[in-house]
Structure 1
Amino acid sequence: MLHAKLHGKLRYDAEGNAKLLEDSLTSTVFERLAYLPDDRLIAILFDPSLWPLHPPLILPVSVESVTFWPLWAWPKTTTPTVTRRSTEPDLVIEFDDRILIVEAKRHDETPTQFGNQLADEWWTARHKFADGRPVSVLAVSGLRDPKRELEILKRDALNRLAALSRGEFDDRPETFDLGYVSWRDLYLLTRKALSHDRPEQNRLLEDIGSGLIRHGVRLTEPCWLDGMQKMDWSTLKSPFATDHFRRSDLPFLGLQGGMRTCPNFFREGIFHD
């Protein structure tokens, strides 16, 4: 949670413990993804499954910068009826050929993404980066039914951009490039993209998985009672019983080259500084 700390995004309870909120989750996951080789980070963030409305035909080659919570002044060319002073995306990644805005929300399967917010961030970025690189927006978490809601989210954003631009915005659907991924699927894509014979990448994956779990993100399918009823009692009372209900494609956290945290680092799901 280094970047959340550096940017003053951490919130504390009465005992002085950092709360596990949206910004701490964003920092925990993406600051580790930023350590990956450029080609691995690009493979994850531009996987076609994240961009169903407009799959990328060409991928970036290199990462130029990664910036958490930049504070951007509102474009002066915007219609006077909009009185905003600034926008603050969660993450901005500059690639050699495009700009990627990441807007992350706290919970999967909870409708907390809003087209107006995504449009405002895209609009500000297009005015800030005047070198002609296109701007894409990746919404992380915050949709209940992405297959249906992503198109609605994009339509809302296009309507907002039409109002902001006073006719300046080119409202062809492909102009506003919008993608989506849940926290759980982001973990799965990361696992798929990494080389598991590399101990340092295994340690990074374990950190991401542990951070997601501590923030309440389920990495496995829920264990249903009807599944338990098919098991013998001798199996269910075993300390390893949950292994029988794991997805086969999700290994235990802890691979070759793994790294462990001392038991008292976590208490009741709260990180200690």
Structure 2
Amino acid sequence: MLHAIHHNKIPRDLFRGNEDSLTAAVFERLRYLPKELIHHIINQAVYQNIPGLDLYQMESMEFWPNWDPSETSNSNRVEPDVFIRTPKIDVIIEAKRYDRYQQSSFQWKNQIQAYHNEYGEDGKDLIYIALGGIHELTSSTLEVLGRSFLIYKSDWSQLLQAIKEVKINLEHGAGLLNTNHAIFRILDDLILCFSMYGFSTSDGFDRFISPTKINFNPQSLQILNSWTK
């Protein structure tokens, strides 16, 4: 589908302005990467460090789950865009099509309430990320159910930059993996997604600056080597 759109076999106008298609195009491909790279990319894309974020143990990534709207302003259902589960934490990602001025604290509150309607008894920590549509880069504090939740911020341009930096790091570290070809294809498709939705994907000066090493956990290289054999 992605390459059919890219080669104008399917009209781009049907997809380009749609936030759900952008979310699916990017996150469906992100989940094909090793968990270490998913963790690194999302961690790098968020403007403020997230204590406790651990996607190395990601169990599932679900799109638009249908949650109980009790005690929210919604009447039928609550649907966050992306829901990630790990053994110890859960992550909600609410995505907006454009990078500025679309997020709503009312929607954040509804989703956190609906999450607790569904999973409150699990006792996990919840991390909430507002992707795109943000009004400011700093995290916001939201009071829900008598508790304070931090709303972490990112935007699509920041996510794209994190993906590009991973690709450049892997290109410069040719001996990092036994074979990088599968990962490169996924990263190339991710960058193509952003290009099709109007984001600048030029490397600029990135390739002329010595890239920093990816901050894998101590077992990452061993895991990645196993994944690529």
Normalising by structure 1, we get a TM-score of 0.61
Q: Would the aligned equivalents of 1:66 and 1:93 in 2 still touch at CA under 8 Å?
A: yes
Cα displacement string for residues 196-241 of structure 1 (whole angstroms, at most 9, x for unaligned residues):
3412221111111111111112335xxxxxxxxxxxxxxxxxxxxx
Q: Would the aligned equivalents of 1:46 and 1:59 in 2 still touch at CA under 8 Å?
A: no
User: Percent same amino acid among aligned pairs?
Assistant: 25
Query: RMSD of aligned C-alpha atoms?
Result: 2.6
Specify the alignment match of 1:43 in structure 2. Answer: 40
Distance in structure 2 (CA, Å) of the matches to 1:190 and 1:116 = 30
Distance in structure 1 (CA, Å) of the matches to 2:13 and 2:136 = 34
- Aligned partner of 1:199 among 156, 175, 181: 181
Change (3 A) 1:250 1:213: farther
- Aligned partner of 2:22 among 17, 21, 25: 25
1:142 aligns to 2:133 (yes or no)? yes
Change (3 A) 1:51 1:184: closer
Structure 1: 5+ residue stretches without partners: 3-14, 162-168, 221-245, 252-273
Distance in structure 2 (CA, Å) of the matches to 1:58 and 1:137 = 11
Change (3 A) 1:192 1:121: same
Q: Where do 1:203-214 residues align within 5 Å?
A: 203-214=185-196
1:121 aligns to 2:106 (yes or no)? no
Larger Cα-atom Rg: 1
Change (3 A) 1:18 1:46: same
Normalising by structure 2, we get a TM-score of 0.72
Change (3 A) 1:55 1:63: closer
Q: Would the aligned equivalents of 2:38 and 2:55 in 1 still touch at CA under 8 Å?
A: no
Structure 2: 5+ residue stretches without partners: 3-10, 175-179, 209-229
Distance in structure 2 (CA, Å) of the matches to 1:203 and 1:83 = 40
* Structure 1 residue 145, shift from structure 2 partner: 3.6
Distance in structure 1 (CA, Å) of the matches to 2:163 and 2:146 = 34
Q: Please give the secondary structure, in 1, of the residue aligned with 2:153.
A: strand
Change (3 A) 1:200 1:136: same
* Structure 1 residue 113, shift from structure 2 partner: 0.4
